[in-house]
Amino acid sequence: MTYTANQCDLSNTNYHTENCNMRYQLAKVDSIIDLGVRFDSKLTFLDHMIEKVNKAYSILGIIKRNFIYLDTNSFVLLYKSMVRPHLKYANSVWCPYKKGDIETIEKVQKRATKLIISLKHLPYMEKLKQLKLPTLKYRRLQK
């Protein structure tokens, strides 16, 4: 199988593949999902990050609706098993490096810690110490 590109116009490049003396034109796509990670044409992973953050927020909403009063142990168990896996799945591939992206992901955990009424008066970093949870940025750098 060989891949060739029509070099007539670089702005409108057409890609083809040839197989058994047949020529097929390949469709141009802006993004593709592979193993649950959305790759875009510029490898910014912005669409993937937004999708994962929205999924984490929706699960937090489910937890908030179904568990009115959460103690710390129940919260940590629910958070670690239902929310955090969405934020860390394949993060070695799409690991955010821009400050805004890191803050967007960290806001999920910040909002999650607000569900615990007994810790509501504490600042975010103190809540994390009480819950024995690291920041998501630290977890990404640690591994």
Instruction: Quick: pLDDT tens for 10-27.
Output: 445 677 677 777 777 877
Share of the chain above pLDDT 70, in %: 86
- Of 103, 55, 101, the C-alpha closest to 82 is 55
Residue 22 in domain: no
Establish if 3 belongs to a structural domain. no
In-domain check, residue 7:
no
Task: Count other C-beta atoms under 10 Å from residue 40's C-beta.
Answer: 14
In a domain, 102, yes or no: yes
Q: Which domain holds residue 46?
A: 31-142
What does the CA dihedral 129, 131, 72, 77 come to, rounded to 10 degrees? Answer: 170
Query: Is 42 a residue whose pLDDT tops 60?
Result: yes
* 24 within a domain of the structure (yes/no): no
* pLDDT tens, residue by residue, 89-125: 877 677 778 888 888 888 999 999 998 888 889 999 9
Given a contact cutoff of 8 angstroms between Cβ atoms, the answer to whether 105 and 97 are in contact is: no
Percent of the chain, pLDDT > 90?
Answer: 24
> From CA 68, how far away is CA 51, in angstroms rounded?
26
Residue 135 CA to residue 143 CA, distance in Å, equals: 13
Quick check: is 9 in a domain? no
User: Dihedrals φ, ψ of 36, to 5°?
Assistant: 85, 0
According to DSSP, the residues that pair with 141 across neighbouring strands are none
Which pair of structure tokens corresponds to residue 9? 């116009």
Q: How many domains are there within the chain?
A: 1
Query: What sign does the dihedral 97-101-102-103 (CA atoms) show?
Result: positive
Confidence of residue 81 (pLDDT cuts 50, 70, 90): very high
